[in-house]
Amino acid sequence: MGTTFTHLLAANYTRAHRAALGWLGNEQEAHEVAQEALLRAYRARDRYDPSRPFYPWLRRIIRNACVDARRRGRHRALTGLDEARVASTAPDPSERVETADAVAHLRAAMEELSPEHREILVLRHFEDLSYAEIAEILGVAQGTVMSRLYRARKALAHRMEEDR
């Protein structure tokens, strides 16, 4: 299983990095935490059940590594919503300033959310996972995913409106 498992980890690095970036926001820190998570997964490879999907198992390890990084204080600020992801393709500088302000506003609002709300939003909107994939990762029913996502979006909208 060693070589195959190593290939699974390598094939999922980009997803691991994207997940960590959604949680932590800082590119360099996300890179470090993604690598740490893959190392943890490799060390725990004997606990992986090959009859189950790989990524949800790995995603739990990534999440725990991100939570640990935040707890250790390595996490600086949520910056994962960078201008490159949401910037207008128009070259107008005033639009860039408006976009930067909107990104900063969104970052601040995301940072104020509970970890549960932030996680469900990251899974759906940063990682672009389906409800079924999110349900598998969180170990809940799809209906629960939908209701949690609804509440998280509502909390985010409330935070953004509150900060205006």
| pTM assigned to the model | 0.62
83-to-2, 29, 97 alpha-carbon distances in Å: 39, 18, 10
Q: What is the pLDDT of residues 134-162, one digit of tens each?
A: 998 888 999 999 999 999 999 998 988 88
Biggest alpha carbon–alpha carbon distance for the chain? 54
Mean pLDDT (whole number) for 41-66: 92
Which structural domains are found in the chain, ordered by start?
1-77 (1.10.1740.10), 93-164 (1.10.10.10)
Q: Please say if the pLDDT value at position 130 is more than 70.
A: yes
Residues in the chain: 164
Of 20-29, 114-123, 134-143, 148-157, give the lowest mean pLDDT range: 20-29
Of 43-52, 65-74, 116-125, give the lowest mean pLDDT range: 65-74
Q: How confident is the model at residue 13 (pLDDT cuts 50, 70, 90)?
A: very high
Which of 65, 158, 77, 153 minimizes the C-alpha distance to 117?
153
Distance CA 29, CA 131 (A): 27
Distance CA 142, CA 132 (A): 6
Q: Please say if the pLDDT value at position 110 is more than 90.
A: no
pLDDT for position 98: 62
Residue 163 — φ and ψ, nearest 5°? -80, -5
Say if CB 17 and CB 34 are below 8 A apart.
yes
Mean pLDDT (whole number) for 57-77: 82
Distance CA 164, CA 161 (A): 5
Look over the chain and give the mean of its residue pLDDT values, rounded to a whole number. 82
| E-assigned strand segments in the chain | none
